[in-house]
């Protein structure tokens, strides 16, 4: 087996004195598609921020075998000011920026990548729109394009399906499945029912991390993992999330 892209070893993280992650270990390999689930405040976002190098754990280590610039990131919706005066195209292009470069000419390669990213998420018609005038779904499409424009090796998504319409939700997950053929994906979600058909494995995070090597999980298992999340049922799925389940 290849060396992991990211290996997290015995990580503790605390905000002030509140321990959010305790002795967390996880290895992320190429082509993984890990669904990160857990209750609110359980440390999901903290974990990915540690992986991204935005937070430094008090104990343990996070080692990468990839460059920081090879990570694509879609943050939680509340991280940015939705009324900031910036256009869709500018946001997406920012995903290509690297370091502090001074350049005045728009290079053709860059332009083409922006065009492709716009097309891929279906935002080409709205390219000049300021983000303040977008719907929830359009905003997340833009943020997704920014995350994938650099063709990252690792794609980290923090609840990309908040405030989006059903149509985009379906499109989003099938696009991610397609992207997974080229890149490793870490997906935080509050809804295991929706992501289950697309992911490969599950990480339950609630201060501890329990790694579950299947994309299906039962309420009983979640209990064992000390990971009390509500399994939102879609249609007639009472307790168990099954593989064939298709979200409409």
Partner 1 sequence: MDLLELFKYGFIQHAVLAALLMSVACGITGTYIVSRRMVFISGGITHASFGGVGIGYFLGFPPLAGAAVVAVLAALTTENLTRRKVLRNDSIIAILWSLGMAIGIIFVYLTPGYAPNLMSFLFGSIITVTSTDLWLMLALALTVSAVFILFYKPILYVAFDEQFARIRGIPVMFINYLLIILVALTIVLSIRTAGIILVLSVLTIPQNITNLFTNRFSHIMIGSVVLGFFASLLGLILSYYLDIPSGATIIFTLVLLYLVARLIKVVIFGR
CA distance 174 to 198: 8
Q: Which stretch binds partner 1 (CB under 8 A): 2-10, 89-97, 178-186, 205-213?
A: 89-97
41 in contact with partner 1 (CB under 8 A): no
Q: How far is the CB of 228 from partner 1 (least distance, A)?
A: 29
230 in contact with partner 1 (CB under 8 A): no
Residue 67, judged by CB atoms within 10 A of its CB (0-12, 13-18, 19+), counts as exposed
Question: What six digits make up the tokens of 120?
Answer: 């891929």
**52/195 with CB nearer partner 1:** 52
Could you give the 3-state DSSP secondary structure of residue 143? helix
Could you give the 3-state DSSP secondary structure of residue 5? coil
Q: How far is the CB of 190 from partner 1 (least distance, A)?
A: 21
**86/116 with CB nearer partner 1:** 86
**163/223 with CB nearer partner 1:** 163
Which residues, 91 to 130, sit near partner 1 by CB under 8 A? 91, 93-95, 97-100, 102, 130
151 in contact with partner 1 (CB under 8 A): no
Q: What's the number of CA atoms in the CB half-sphere (13 Å) around residue 48?
A: 26
Are 129 and 160 in contact by the 8 Å Cβ rule? The answer is no
End-to-end Cα separation, the chain, in angstroms: 37
90 in contact with partner 1 (CB under 8 A): yes
**100/246 with CB nearer partner 1:** 100
Are 87 and 134 in contact by the 8 Å Cβ rule? The answer is no
Residue in this structure with the two tokens 């650099």, named with its chain if needed? 150
Q: How far is the CB of 109 from partner 1 (least distance, A)?
A: 16
Positions in the binding site for partner 1 (CB under 8 A): 49, 52-54, 68-69, 71, 73, 75, 79-81, 84-87, 90-91, 93-95, 97-100, 102, 130, 132-133, 146
């Amino acid at each position: 087996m290849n060396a992991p892209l990211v290996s997290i070893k015995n990580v503790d993280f605390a905000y002030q004195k509140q321990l959010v992650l305790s002795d967390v270990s996880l290895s992320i390999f190429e082509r993984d598609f890990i669904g990160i689930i857990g209750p609110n405040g359980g440390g999901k976002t903290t974990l990915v921020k540690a992986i991204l190098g935005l937070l430094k754990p008090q104990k343990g280590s996070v080692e990468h075998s990839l460059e920081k610039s090879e990570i694509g990131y879609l943050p939680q919706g509340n991280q940015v000011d939705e009324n900031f005066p910036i256009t869709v195209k500018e946001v997406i292009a920012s995903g290509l920026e690297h370091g502090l470069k001074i350049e005045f000419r728009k290079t053709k390669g860059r332009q083409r990548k922006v065009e492709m990213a716009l097309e891929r998420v279906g935002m080409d018609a709205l390219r000049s729109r300021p983000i303040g005038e977008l719907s929830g779904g359009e905003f997340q499409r833009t943020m997704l394009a920014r995350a994938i424009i650099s063709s990252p090796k690792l794609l980290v998504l923090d609840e990309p399906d908040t405030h989006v319409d059903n149509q985009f939700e379906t499109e989003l997950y099938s696009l991610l499945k397609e992207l997974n053929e080229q890149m490793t994906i870490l997906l935080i979600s509050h809804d295991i029912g929706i992501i289950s058909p697309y992911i490969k494995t599950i990480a339950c995070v609630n201060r501890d991390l329990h790694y579950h090597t299947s994309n299906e999980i039962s309420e009983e298992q979640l209990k064992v993992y000390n990971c009390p999340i509500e399994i939102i049922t879609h249609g007639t799925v009472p307790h168990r999330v099954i593989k064939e389940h298709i979200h409409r």
